[in-house]
Amino acid sequence: MKNRFKNLSQRQRDLSMGLISIVLILVVSMVASDSIIDFLARMVIYMLFASAVNIILGFGGLRPLGQGTYFGFTAYAYLFMVVRMHIPLAAAIFLALLLNLILAAFVGTVCLRANDDMAFAFMNMGFNTLLWTLIQKLQIVGSDTGITGSVRLPFALSTRANFYLTFIVCIICITAIYLFFRSPFAKILKGSRENIERLTFIGVNTRNVRLTAYIVSGFFCGIAGLLYSMRNMGAFPSMISSGTSLEGLIMCLIGGMYSFFGPILGAAIVTFINVQLPIITNFYQSIFGVIIVLCVLFLQGGLLKDKAVLNLDDKKKKLLNKRGERA
Amino acid sequence: MTVPFFFQTLVTGLSSGMISYMMVAGMSLIISGMNMVNFGQGAFFVLGTYLTYTITAHIGFIPSLIIAPLVVGGLGWFVERAVRPLFGKNMLYIMLLTFGVAYIVCDGMIMIWGYAIRLMKLPSFLNKSVAIFGIYFPTYYLFMIAVGLLIAISFWIMMNKTKLGMMMRAIIKDREMVACLGINVNKLFSIMFMLGTGIAGLGGVLNAPITGMSPKEGLSIFGNIMPILMIGGMKNMNGCLPAALLVGLVNAFGAIYLPQFYNLLPAALMVICMFIRPQGIFTKKEAA
């Protein structure tokens, strides 16, 4: 079995892993109770969120410390339009995603202006904090308590139906991200991660490449936020906080940010920890911290790696062994 | 706004600016010297506050001004040892590691001191108010400004006049060259990190009598000091003091004129500054 898996090409591997995870989640959801389905919905949404973050993190090579902005902003925009302005649901979804795109374009343009990695990370986080404080202070968006309302779509009102809707949308979006990763544009994006001077030298406008990736990432984060607001039937300040953004990063880190399925696996693990640990102990954050530290120190590539990376590692090991024999 | 009230607000703003200066000074030293971001800075700040509560109860406030920063700096040494194998790799690893450390420190504080927000009593000679030109100021605020200025001046002297500071400035400019000259870069990094966290701990000590802190705040406090960092310029240590004072003043006056949004002002200021000068307002242009 293991050998057979080794012989598969990268594309076949991705396909088989995707199919296995889809079938697994589907089977679990068939037999599970409502509370487990609620948990599964959260997991699936975070999978989409983590892979959206990974567009700019693992493949873009930037450090987005504030992707939670789009996660929360879309939810807030949607809830605000539906509950406060009484716009029909379909129009509100469309408008919320459009607003999210505009915000992503604006923030991306500003953040990438300095053309400095650290400045980008900090600006990103700054915007996130800004929006978070704004939302916590504004009475019209419910300040601390957030907005709640019946925002589920009319054909998906029950927990189970809403989960299947979420699941289908997430599968479509994750497939879209996968196709995005196989496009020629993603090759240039990876190039900008590896060697940006060289790419500039060839004549590629690297800032535009990064900006496009940033906007795409923000868009998918927004879809995840929209689904999350439907699951919770509300938008809350914690969705837009920097905690959400960092959770996304940690998911990518644990799962492995240089492979496509890494963030998805990481999202499953982190969501499981986040939901189950607080039941057992009061100090779950410190255990989470220990996990992060151990992962950073001893598991830098993450759990999953691409075939090419694995082959490279094997070659390195062989080379080191040869050198050892000679000496 | 009457004149006494104006001056009192001024002093409040300056003193709160001084506290944030202590956090930012350490932060900026770590960023420019080691080229890494320490998310744990807020946690170390709160740790300083909590150490003060315990030490003051047993020994007194003035000894805690010395002991607490030393303890926090000592903890910084361990963090620096953990970070060391990650230099030269993706910067994200260090960010997340310090973040994990912040998680652990915060939960450790909850384990030891519990959730309750505490307050402490000041020694009687600081717990008065002084009249200057007929306007009353709380002594402790003036004391805070004095300590902050003392730290800023000694920091400047250390960076610019001593041999240690010379080596640190050299590391900021060109790390490889310093290593080639036979100077122990790792040791210098340790000293830098301990200094940075220690100053943050001192800020926590000074902050202890003013606002009650909860251990959970260690994580969110980073959002408050980041605007100062950006306004002062990321890798510009001299810009910290003016930026921190500016933000402190904006906060103090904002609390009076825009009470609903005053938490927002530093972040808004940061965004405006990024539009005008992305490299920070207080950064001099580098000679090409």
pLDDT (average), residues A195-213: 87
Quote the distance between the C-alpha of residue A137 and its chain's center.
27
d(CA B43, CA B26): 13
Examine residue A9 and state whether it is found in any structural domain, yes or no.
Answer: no
Q: Which residue type is seen at B139?
A: T
- Enumerate the residues of chain A whose CB falls inside 8 A of the CB of residue B90: 300
Percentage of residues in chain B with pLDDT exceeding 70?
94
**pLDDT tens digits, B142-153:** 888 888 888 888
Instruction: Tell me: pLDDT of B214 over 70.
Output: yes
**Residue B114 sits at the chain A interface (C-beta within 8 Å):** no
Instruction: Tell me: pLDDT of A65 over 90.
Output: no
Measured CB to CB, residues of chain A less than 8 Å from chain B are 57, 63, 65, 110, 113-114, 116-119, 121-123, 125-127, 129-130, 132-134, 136-137, 242-243, 246, 249-250, 253, 282-283, 285-286, 288-293, 296-297, 300
Instruction: Tell me: pLDDT of B135 over 60.
Output: yes
Contact B103 A286 (CB under 8 A): yes
Examine residue A312 and state whether it is found in any structural domain, yes or no.
Answer: yes
Whole-number pLDDT of residue A151? 82
Whole-number pLDDT of residue A1? 66
Contact A122 B229 (CB under 8 A): yes
The most confident of A70-79, A199-208, A316-325, by mean pLDDT = A70-79
pTM for the model: 0.86
Domain with A63 in it = 21-326
d(CA A60, CA A190): 6
Tell me which of A189 and A5 has the higher pLDDT: A189
**Torsion over CA: A129, A75, B95, B103 (sign):** positive
Contact B278 A119 (CB under 8 A): yes
Examine residue A42 and state whether it is found in any structural domain, yes or no.
Answer: yes
ipTM of this complex: 0.79
Examine residue B55 and state whether it is found in any structural domain, yes or no.
Answer: yes
d(CA A55, CA A113): 20
**pLDDT tens digits, A264-309:** 989 998 898 888 888 888 788 888 888 888 888 887 777 777 777 7
pLDDT band for position A225 (50/70/90)?
A: very high
Q: Give residues 204 to 233 of B whose Cβ lies within 8 Å of A.
A: 219-220, 223, 226-227, 229-230
Number of domains making up chain A: 1
**pLDDT tens digits, B221-273:** 777 777 888 787 777 777 788 888 888 888 888 888 877 777 777 777 877 87
The most confident of A31-35, A213-217, B202-206, B281-285, by mean pLDDT = A213-217
Tell me which of A22 and B259 has the higher pLDDT: A22
Lowest mean pLDDT among A234-243, A260-269, B16-25, B262-271: B262-271
Whole-number pLDDT of residue B286? 55
pLDDT (average), residues B56-84: 82
Tell me which of B119 and A290 has the higher pLDDT: A290
- Kindly report the nearest CA distance between residue A90 and chain B, in angstroms: 33
**pLDDT tens digits, B160-176:** 888 888 888 888 777 78
Whole-number pLDDT of residue A220? 92
Whole-number pLDDT of residue B284? 66
Instruction: Tell me: pLDDT of A324 over 70.
Output: no
pLDDT (average), residues A22-42: 88
Contact B223 A242 (CB under 8 A): yes
Instruction: Tell me: pLDDT of B287 over 60.
Output: no
The most confident of A11-15, A182-186, A323-327, B109-113, by mean pLDDT = A182-186
Instruction: Tell me: pLDDT of A123 over 90.
Output: no
- Enumerate the residues of chain A whose CB falls inside 8 A of the CB of residue B260: 137
Lowest mean pLDDT among A108-112, A277-281, B89-93: B89-93
Compute the CA torsion angle B147, B148, B154, B157 (nearest 10 deg): -150
d(CA A72, CA A236): 8
pLDDT band for position A50 (50/70/90)?
A: very high
Whole-number pLDDT of residue A105? 92
Tell me which of A6 and B105 has the higher pLDDT: B105
Examine residue B286 and state whether it is found in any structural domain, yes or no.
Answer: no
Whole-number pLDDT of residue B101? 86
The most confident of A26-30, B274-278, B279-283, by mean pLDDT = A26-30
d(CA B251, CA A29): 51
Contact A297 B85 (CB under 8 A): yes
Number of domains making up chain B: 1
**Residue B263 sits at the chain A interface (C-beta within 8 Å):** yes
Whole-number pLDDT of residue B189? 85
Closest by Cβ to B270, choosing from A126, A288, A296: A126
Q: Give residues 45 to 84 of B whose Cβ lies within 8 Å of A.
A: 82
Q: Give residues 155 to 194 of B whose Cβ lies within 8 Å of A.
A: none
Closest by Cβ to A137, choosing from B226, B261, B271: B261
Contact B104 A242 (CB under 8 A): no
Q: Which residue of chain B has the CA closest to A132? A: B264
**Residue B111 sits at the chain A interface (C-beta within 8 Å):** yes
pLDDT (average), residues A13-39: 87
Percentage of residues in chain A with pLDDT exceeding 70?
97
d(CA A118, CA B234): 8
CA angle (A233, A222, A292) in 5-degree steps: 95
pLDDT (average), residues A15-29: 88
Kind and range of the H or E run holding B31: helix B3-34
Whole-number pLDDT of residue A171? 92
pLDDT band for position A221 (50/70/90)?
A: very high
Whole-number pLDDT of residue B278? 65
Instruction: Tell me: pLDDT of A325 over 70.
Output: no
Examine residue B197 and state whether it is found in any structural domain, yes or no.
Answer: yes
Q: Which residue of chain A has the CA closest to B279? A: A114
Residues in CB range of A148: below 8 A, 6 or more apart? A79, A83, A233, A234
Examine residue A35 and state whether it is found in any structural domain, yes or no.
Answer: yes
- Enumerate the residues of chain B whose CB falls inside 8 A of the CB of residue A300: 89-90, 93
Examine residue B3 and state whether it is found in any structural domain, yes or no.
Answer: no
Whole-number pLDDT of residue A219? 92
**pLDDT tens digits, A126-166:** 788 888 878 887 778 777 888 888 888 888 888 888 899 99
**Residue B87 sits at the chain A interface (C-beta within 8 Å):** no
Whole-number pLDDT of residue B288? 42
**Residue B93 sits at the chain A interface (C-beta within 8 Å):** yes
Closest by Cβ to B230, choosing from A122, A250, A285: A122
In a 13 Å sphere around the CA of A85, the CA atoms on its Cβ side amount to 14
Contact A288 B110 (CB under 8 A): no
**Residue B234 sits at the chain A interface (C-beta within 8 Å):** yes
Tell me which of A281 and A74 has the higher pLDDT: A74
pLDDT band for position A100 (50/70/90)?
A: very high
Domain with B202 in it = 21-219
**Residue B264 sits at the chain A interface (C-beta within 8 Å):** yes
Examine residue B152 and state whether it is found in any structural domain, yes or no.
Answer: yes
**pLDDT tens digits, A248-267:** 888 888 888 888 888 898 99
Whole-number pLDDT of residue A217? 92
Contact B234 A118 (CB under 8 A): yes
Task: Say whether A158 sits in a helix, a strand or coil.
Answer: coil
